[in-house]
Structure 1
Amino acid sequence: MLIAAVLSWFLVGLFIRVSKARGWGQRVRRDGAQTHLVKDGTPTGGGVGFVVALLLAWLLMYARGAEPRDLAVLGVTIAMGLIGLVDDVLKIRSRMTGRGASELRAREKFPLQILVGAAFAYFAWRIGPALPGVPAEWRALVEIPLYTFILVGAVNAFNFTDGLDGLLGGVTIIILLPLVALGASPLAALMVGALLGFLWFNAHPARVFMGDMGSHAIGALVAGTYILNGSGNFTWLLALAAIIPIVEVLSVVIQVTYFRRTGGKRVFRMTPIHHHFELSGWPETKVTLRFWIVTAVATLGAWAVMSGRL
């Protein structure tokens, strides 16, 4: 964890220098919270730094004799991260040149995510623990679609959560801490370390934004480690521990659906829902801290249920 943190701190800092020199700044939405306007031009895509740090730390310490489940999680993390990287590159290039696609469209992104998620789900079915209560003859029919849905859902839910300084990094660390405490996955520990290095620069006021590569990789790693560790029960814990990402993505679905069906009316002031609270008068730091608290309580509750204490 310490090695990953130091590598991440160095690589993210290097990324910020290169980004500023090349003008890879993010443009802030003018219809959002006005306090965000000062962030215009902040380097984006910093997830590259901590994802590379995680990979290097893993290669240095765990590559030899790696377990199949760790290879599967690392593979899906890198693959989903690369999809996010393409999105980041397109956004940066479009802002700098004014030409070309501004980002991957949903019809381009989702098939790639589903393909990667399905590949992971197949290996998870073959090498992972069986879901409790699922008959052996039904495992493939239940687990492969379910794991694919969880992977793709997690990637997008964690992506939507990345919108305030330090929000996604803090939420992810809290969700992964039980796995680190149990020693269930070296990748969970390395991601926590890498995110600590990243948060040094992403804490409010952020000097760098995570970008899609970072959020995609995080969503894949969190979902993958919960699916492939434990006796199969860990998979269900994710639905409670990751309550904030789930609420974030649901707020977007509700807003878009209601907007289309009512001809322009809205349920929330702005989505994802962290922007709704900002526009309701909460300072950004208060939204972030309270979302961390909710995540901590939900994660504690999930693992208390798992341990039979509730």
Structure 2
Amino acid sequence: MTYVSVFFSIFAAFLVSTLLCPVMIYVLKFFNVNQQIRADGPRGHLKKAGVPTMGGLVILISAVIINIFEISMNRQMSLLLFAFLGFGAIGFLDDYIKVVLKRSLGLTVIQKLVLQGVVALLFCYYYMVRISDECEMLVPFTGGIRDGIYLTMPKWLFFIFIYIIMIGTVNGVNLTDGLDGLASSVTLLIVVFFSIAALKSGSSLVLSGGCVAGALMGFLLFNVYPALVFMGDTGSLALGGFVAAMAVELKMPLYIAIVGIIYLAEVLSVILQVVYFKLSGGKRLFRMAPLHHHFEQCGWRETTVVALFSIVTTVMCIAAILD
């Protein structure tokens, strides 16, 4: 692994993604694979009806092509791709039911959690049996990858912890995907952070991280406001699986709470909204959940919210890198 190979993985995935996006947009429009806007969502989003969705296929195809044909695979990278494609397949199924079969709800919550649980369990089992016998993870701000303190856990507890981390991250990215370029921008920054961490530790996972980062950069050219294409659950679930899997394999799952603070905030805003609504007899803690919609309802422009969330993510990533 050299700096040249890392650069090539980023550039090649970016080039494929940039060239593939216009083609995918045309295909999605041709088959009327368009975004369905919720009637109870922000009124400003009604103008987005008709924008093609399932564009996450571009990210998946671009990253996987470069991984498979240009990079020598190993167990770690294969497991990372399994999480990426496994959760992406669940998102694709959900999108297909919603926009192709025209069933607005897609997969039910139970169906989603069961399918996500299967992928997460397979990942956890394979990781602990075939890749790592050490049930440990780096504690943030204790000296970094080389000199930091590693927390060791019993196998059963570690298994449960990884499972929760994966399911939480996947759904955190999914909830974040609600504004033009929001999930793409935030996740790009997080993938770059974990890629730098992989580079510092000498892990070959930096190459896979570079592929996804490059694919995201190409996709962002068409996903920033006003978006020409949305990633859909196909992209958001795949990216969530990738981030979680990469963090686990680098023994850095605790860092997700830091660099992925936006994911955490989005999930907590939904949970708090539901709990408060039930306990207060119908009152709302936020004007609308997830959190990015609350800022919109407060009069913030969509681009401002995306910029703020990206800045927060950048600051947290820098703080974690300097550890």
TM-score under structure 2 normalisation? 0.87
Aligned partners of 1:242 and 1:295 also within 8 Å: yes
Query: In structure 2, how many angstroms separate the alpha carbons of the residues matched to 1:134 and 1:2?
Result: 38
Which runs of structure 2 are paired with 1:1-310 in the superposition (5 Å)?
Answer: 1-62=10-71, 64=72, 66-95=73-102, 100=103, 102-126=105-129, 127-128=131-132, 129-131=134-136, 132-134=150-152, 138=154, 140-182=155-197, 183=199, 184=203, 185=205, 186-229=207-250, 232=251, 234-304=252-322, 307=323
Distance 1:37 1:27 in 2: 9
Residue identity opposite 1:238 in structure 2: I
**Aligned-partner residue type, residue 130 of structure 1:** C
For the Cα contact (< 8 Å) 2:165–2:253, is it kept in 1?
no
Asked if 1 retains the 8 angstrom alpha-carbon contact of 2:36 and 2:99, the reply is: no
SS in structure 2 at match of 1:102 = coil
Return structure 1 stretches of 4+ with deviation > 3 angstroms.
none
Q: Deviations over 1:1-32 (max 9, x none)?
A: 11111111222221110111222111222333
Alignment gaps of 5+ in structure 2: 1-9, 137-149
Query: Is 1:48–1:213's contact at 8 Å kept on the other side of the alignment?
Result: yes
Give the percent of matched residue pairs that are identical in Structure 1 and Structure 2.
36
Give the counterpart letter for 2:309 in structure 1: F
What is the CA-CA distance between 1:157 and the residue it aligns to? 0.4
1:15 corresponds to which letter in structure 2? M
Whether the 8 Å contact between 2:83 and 2:241 is mirrored in structure 1 is yes
Rounded Cα–Cα distance in structure 2 between residues aligned with 1:42 and 1:70: 34
The 2-side partners of 1:256 and 1:40 are apart by: 27
For 1:208, give the aligned amino acid.
Answer: V
Aligned residue identity for 2:280: T
Letter in 1 for 2:51: T
> What amino acid does structure 2 have at the position aligned with 1:279?
Q
The alignment partner of 1:133 has SS state of: strand
TM-score, structure 1 length as denominator?
Answer: 0.90
Listed one character per residue, the Cα deviations across residues 73-129 of structure 1 (whole Å, up to 9, x for unaligned) are: 11111011000100000010243xxxx573000111101111110111122223135
**Deviations 1:232-282 (Å, cap 9, x if unpaired)?**
3x2211111100011001111111122223332111111111000001010
Q: In structure 1, what is the Cα distance between the partners aligned to 2:321 and 2:257?
A: 12
Deviation by residue 1:213-246 (Cα, 9 ceiling, x = unmatched) = 10001001111111111xx3x2211111100011
Separation of aligned partners in 2, 1:107 and 1:122:
22
Structure 1, unmatched stretches of 5+, are none
